[in-house]
Amino acid sequence: MGFPIKRPRRLRTNERLRALVRETELSPGDLIEPLFVCPGAKVRQVIASMPGQFNLSVDEAVAEAQEAQALGVPGVILFGIPPKKDARASGAYDPEGIVQEATRAIRKGAPDLLVVTDVCLCEYTDHGHCGVLEGGEIANDPTLDLLARTAVSQARAGADIVAPSDMMDGRVAAIRRALDEAGLAGTPILSYAAKYASAFYGPFREAAKSAPKSGDRKSHQMDPANAREALREVALDIEEGADIVMVKPALPYLDVIWRVREAFNVPVAAYHVSGEYTMLAVAAERGFIDRERALLESLVAIRRAGADLIVTYFAKEAARLLRRS
Ligand code: PBG
């Protein structure tokens, strides 16, 4: 029996009714804000490819983190722009490196915030690749040791969670082993488990100055055409010790988020990446789209697909909007 008995519009009559039957909740507590930390003091440099986002020196990153904390955003994820780069990415695992320094400062200045650190070499290598090069190829196994050293040095600096984004085979196991051997068995790993070789990282690579000088990342990041493979990647990372698994990017891969959510019982994260941010920010700047509505709709869609938490450049703005509503 359908119409006129069944009238779905009844429950959409007003906001109180709509709120009563809303299936998916988006709250500031679901969001993690990425920060790009650079050398210097009082630096707050506009990222041209990401209007409204900045490269921040450590002092400015602390101020930003404090603001996020005050808005109810539970965590930040740190990316480093080191003062100099080399072939073996030594800035990534330097105990005095930019991310290590920022981690210590944020832990002190915003003690209620979770500090997540991105573990990858691409921001620290002079060639821009995510691993060490041997004969022009990204060498998997020799890279693992450097990733593990990076994660340990970040956790020693106080990182609450380490988040490998490099997509080398076996990195989660290598990092888990190294953390445990260093007495850091309590540090969780959030692995970028299903990370696609995506054009949507374009604006980030300008922000982090991490574009590869030659070639691309297709030998380690996933083919956008594959979803079953994402389940294999996630299964491997969980087996190796990942505590939270992430799908990245988010909106073009909602089906993957959904499949991962259905297939596994660990917390699922999604990364609403730089290109997703920039498309929306620029369309709104030009007056073609309502920024606030579009960003909330994007984030709720990612939650609806099954993500427990979302890494997003809109974290603070969304938190502000959600508190107001
Ligand atoms: C690698 C890393 C990247 C992003 C997060 N970690 C870039 C890449 O793989 O090229 C992209 C994030 C974004 O686009 O917002 N360190």
Token couple for 300? 């709720």
| Å from CA of 201 to ligand 1 middle | 6
| 128-158 pLDDT per residue, tens | 999 999 999 999 999 999 999 999 999 999 9
pLDDT number for residue 324: 84
Answer yes or no: is the C-beta of 122 below 6 A from any ligand 1 atom. Answer: yes
Lowest mean pLDDT across 32-46, 89-103, 207-221: 207-221
| 147-189 pLDDT per residue, tens | 999 999 999 999 999 999 999 999 999 999 999 999 999 999 9
pLDDT number for residue 184: 98
- CA dihedral of 62, 67, 71, 72, whole degrees rounded to 10: 10
What value does the mean pLDDT take over residues 18-42? 98
Answer yes or no: is the C-beta of 103 below 6 A from any ligand 1 atom. Answer: no
Statement: residue 325 has pLDDT above 80:
no
What is the residue with the minimal CA distance to atom 11 of ligand 1? 201
The question of whether 195 is a catalytic residue gets the answer yes
| Å from CA of 129 to ligand 1 middle | 12
Atom number, ligand 1, closest to the C-alpha of residue 221: 9
Pairing, β 309-312 against β 268-272: parallel
pLDDT number for residue 301: 98
| 208-217 pLDDT per residue, tens | 888 898 899 9
Closest by Cα among 247, 310, 276, 271 to 49: 276
Cα(33)–Cα(241) distance, integer angstroms? 24
Question: Which helix H or strand E contains 318, and what residues bound it?
Answer: helix 315-324
Statement: residue 304 has pLDDT above 80:
yes
Cα(100)–Cα(210) distance, integer angstroms? 18
pLDDT number for residue 58: 98
Read off the pLDDT band of 23 (50, 70, 90): very high
Cα(179)–Cα(166) distance, integer angstroms? 17
What value does the mean pLDDT take over residues 94-105? 98
pLDDT number for residue 230: 98
Against a cut of 0.95, is the pTM above it? Answer: yes
Token couple for 36? 């790009």
How much of the chain exceeds pLDDT 90, in percent? 97
| Å from CA of 16 to ligand 1 middle | 40
The question of whether 248 is a catalytic residue gets the answer yes
Sign of the dihedral defined by the CA atoms of residues 196, 198, 200, 204, in that order:
positive
3-state secondary structure of 33: strand
Statement: residue 97 has pLDDT above 90:
yes
Answer yes or no: is the C-beta of 26 below 6 A from any ligand 1 atom. Answer: no
Looking at every residue in the chain, the average pLDDT score rounds to: 97
pLDDT number for residue 240: 98
